[in-house]
Structure 1
Amino acid sequence: MASSDSENSDNSESSIELGFVQRLEIGQQWRLHRCYFPSKIGGKPAWLNPKDIPKTDDLKCSLCGKAMALLLQIYAPNDDNSDTFHRTIYVFCCKSESCYEHNSNIPFRVLRCQLSKDNEFYDRNPPDYESPEYFKSCKNFIEVCRVCGFAGNKTCSRCHKASYCCKEHQTLHWKFHKVTCGSDSHDSTAGVDDGFFAGDLMFPEYEIVMETEESNSCDVLSQDELPEANGQFSPSELEQFANVNLVGQEFSSFRKITATSPDQVLRYDKAGSPLWCSGDNKLSSDKVPKCSCGADRYFEFQVMPQLLNYLNVQNTIDGPSIDWGILAVFTCSADCQSAGQSYHLEYLHKQDFEQIQS
């Protein structure tokens, strides 16, 4: 990921990178194994540090108490720091619609993990990104739950190969696992996803590919360019934003800037500024909570509302639903590390589209 300077307005080339969904072909799930350092949506987390991974208790929703699901993870190394040769940001969220409220970030959690070039898990040389066999050279350090991908400290009493985080997940997986239990069909040490997908517990899995945004799409709207309320929106757009107040410079700028790449699900602009979708609940830099180490946090990337189209969630106007305008992620400017802690908590700000006042 390229870093950016938000104050350098003379740069003719945009340093903002856009993330797009790429569906994997059948048999290509190996591309999302941790040894290829993937950026991806949903599925089980591809833990950068495979030795000290979180437990389900570490990522439970503070409202309903259920384990959160991986929304996405972004591989974002920082070349300016020798300790961040490898670096991944994880965004988790609750799958219970009742936990979501307007402009509330409570159902979300962000973790950062990083490694130096010399580490016990990966070779110094880049992986062979085109080899479906390369992952077999990347050994496991701890067993993960076959259902959710979190640390699994329980094993199948019959084969002692399949690991689980809890009895409930072992029971859920049994109908799938019993076909190969006790055989050599699945080598648990290889770290291959066995194909089981718990749709109630996780989101569909896709790869994220990054492209640099065209510089002309970053132009800011002048007052004369602002569209009249509702006047320049197509019927499909009006339906998509049925409960959104279409008046305001922020929303108009948001719509114009994203129009050149309407399928973008992520905007990466490290040390830049979020692209706000509303004048309501904007977060100024001085209001961003500092990291636990005392350092300032800066903006790194935002998740766009287009991602919702790939999550198989039901959004409603009348009640709570998994929804957002943008999710802005802020990370420690010092990329701090705490002794004995591999996954560090970062900050997420949720901004929803401005609701129509009745």
Structure 2
Amino acid sequence: MAVARAGAADLGFAEVAPAWRLRSQQFPSKVGGRPAWLGEAGLPGPAELGCSLCGRPLAFVLQLYAPLPGRADAFHRGLFLFCCRAPPCCAGLRVFRNQLPRKNDFYSHEPPSEDPPPETGASVRLQLQSGAQLCRVCGCLGPKTCARCRQAHYCSKDHQAVDWRCGHKQACRQAGNVDSTVPDHNFLFPEFEIVIETEDETTPEVSEKEDEPEIIGSMGEAPAEELESMAKHESREDKIFQEFKNKIALEPEQILRYGRGLAPIWISGENVPQEEDIPDCPCGAKRIFEFQKLPYHENHV
């Protein structure tokens, strides 16, 4: 990984927003719901969005609008994070990048309007301008089609079965637009806008540790070297965790930290990747840190 630079991070906070602000035309940063794809070419397909461990479709977690100044080919740039949420796995993670120049076939040369569009209906849009269809469950590319109605599209048999159980069985042969009645499949995460603010670098005062409890009883004949090693390990882990808590305490409701080239904040010293653990980009360049997702819950909003 390239050497990290110093500086303040941009912090992301989850806030409730009207549906129109979370559409692709607004270049949103958001968490949950269906992905608001930036471009329409080069989107990940079902094979790329399958968990490498259990094989089930990954769920969209968040997207971040992160253009690169000075890069004409990345005037618009989005990062998309997916994860496996199928128990007992819940381990697979994938990140995808989608970018466009300012002059492109999908968006105006000018910034998007801050006013709501004339039509702000809540219907789910499951077709791209290019004609490509999206899965009714997850909003990713849906190359599979219901064999009966030929209107419903899916990324996988798993999501076709989910939609069938959630009402498509009854609606399949009914007249009208099937896509206008997409139910809640309980697969997507709750949807919120990510609002970005720059971090205040003021360092909070570190609270003094409480007196450690007295150890009662015999520890046996543990070698002095082993006890010393254990003490050093615990002291190092305590320091890393305390630094993490101090940093988060400045803005406890942050759900995301962004800073291209900054250093991540680790919660533990265990499993921290080393230089040799991080593969180079296919172009040969060293990869750098860009963003870090933090835990959040609905009480944050």
Q: TM-score normalised by the shorter chain: which range applies? A: 0.7 to 0.9
Larger radius of gyration: 2
- Offset at 1:62? 1.5
Residues 1:207 and 2:184 aligned together: no
> Quick check: 1:34–1:47 contact (8 Å CA) kept in 2?
yes
Counterpart amino acid of residue 208 in structure 1:
I
Q: Structure 1: where are the runs of 5+ without partners?
A: 9-13, 101-105, 188-193, 232-244, 312-358
Matched residue type, 2:14: V
Give the alignment's TM-score, normalised by structure 1: 0.65
1:143 matched to 2:124? no
**CA distance, structure 2, for counterparts of residue 71 and residue 126 of structure 1:** 26
- Matched with 1:30 is 20
Asked whether the equivalents of residues 134 and 141 of structure 2 are also in contact (C-alpha less than 8 Å), the reply is yes
Query: CA shift at 1:310, angstroms?
Result: 4.3
Who is 1:15 aligned against? Answer: 8
2: CA distance, partners of 1:45 / 1:139: 12
Distance 1:150 1:129, change over 3 A: same
Q: Give the structure 2 partner of residue 81 of structure 1.
A: 71
Are 1:132 and 2:132 counterparts? Answer: no
Aligned match of 2:185: 198
Cα offset, 1:290, TM superposition: 0.9
Alpha-carbon spacing, 1:278–1:167, altered in 2? closer, same or farther (3 Å)? closer
Which residue number corresponds to residue 42 of structure 1? 32
Give the gaps of 5 or more residues in structure 2: 122-126, 213-233
Match of 2:107 in 1: 122
Out of 108, 112, 115, the residue aligned to residue 93 of structure 2 is: 108
- After superposition, the C-alpha distances for 1:68-96 in whole angstroms (9 at most, x for unaligned) are 11111111011121110011111111113
Matched, 1:169 2:154: no
Q: Does structure 2 conserve the Cα–Cα contact (< 8 Å) formed by 1:227 and 1:252? A: no
Q: Which has the higher contact order (CA 8 A, sep 6+)?
A: 2
Written as runs of structure 1 = structure 2, the 5 A alignment for 1:1-358 is 7-8=5-6, 15-24=8-17, 28-99=18-89, 107-133=92-118, 140-141=129-130, 142-156=132-146, 160-174=150-164, 176=167, 178=171, 181-183=174-176, 196-199=183-186, 201-217=187-203, 225=206, 227-228=208-209, 248-285=238-275, 287-305=277-295, 307=296, 309-310=297-298
Q: Compare 201-210 and 58-67 and name the one that shifted more.
A: 201-210
Distance 1:182 1:133, change over 3 A: farther
Q: How well do the aligned residues superpose, as a CA RMSD in angstroms?
A: 3.2
Verify the 8 A CA contact 2:143 2:153 in the aligned structure 1: yes
1:154 touches 1:164 (CA, 8 Å); kept in 2? yes
SS of residue in 2 equivalent to 1:92: strand
Number of residue pairs aligned between Structure 1 and Structure 2: 266
Instruction: Give the C-alpha shift of residue 21 in structure 1.
Output: 0.9
SS of corresponding position for 1:79: coil
In 1, the alpha carbon distance for the partners of 2:49 and 2:102 equals 28
CA 1:61/1:270 → structure 2, altered by over 3 Å: closer, same or farther? same
